[in-house]
Amino acid sequence: MKSAGLKQNTIVGNSNLEGGNTLANNRQTPAKPDDRSDNVEKIQDMIEHTIENMEQAEDTLRNPEIDMSEHERQQIEEKNDRRREALDGFRSEVKDEANYNRQND
């Protein structure tokens, strides 16, 4: 029964079937202008949020009162590894945006 529910959700969530803004119904919205003015701030917020999540995960791993399987522990550690990789990308984006802002001010 669950798979039928998932299939139904997939169909309902499809914007093409809901009459969403597609080429098929000839309604196009104009492209938004490229507003990069607050990108650095947004990326810095994402960095802070990611670091907070990593710290919470590490606290969970160190907490002896939390009972978790080795598999769960490994999943948390792998997720933090992916977060570290994301942080590298975010920091690179901040540099790119800062360079863009300097050149276009």
Q: Cα(101)–Cα(98) distance, rounded to whole angstroms?
A: 5
Tell me which residue range forms the domain holding 6: 1-30
Which region, left, alpha or beta, applies to residue 67 given φ > 0 means left and ψ of -120 to 50 means alpha? Answer: beta
CB hemisphere CA count around 55 (13 angstroms)? 6
Whole-model pTM: value is: 0.66
Q: Is 58 in the same domain as 79? A: yes
Q: Is 25 in the same domain as 71? A: no
Render pLDDT for 42-89 as a digit per residue (tens, 0 to 9).
999 999 999 999 999 999 999 999 999 999 999 999 999 999 999 999
Q: Is 47 in the same domain as 72? A: yes
CB count in 10 Å sphere of residue 68: 13
Q: What is the mean pLDDT of residues 26-52?
A: 89
CB count in 10 Å sphere of residue 97: 19
Q: Is 2 in the same domain as 42? A: no
Q: How many domains does the chain have?
A: 2
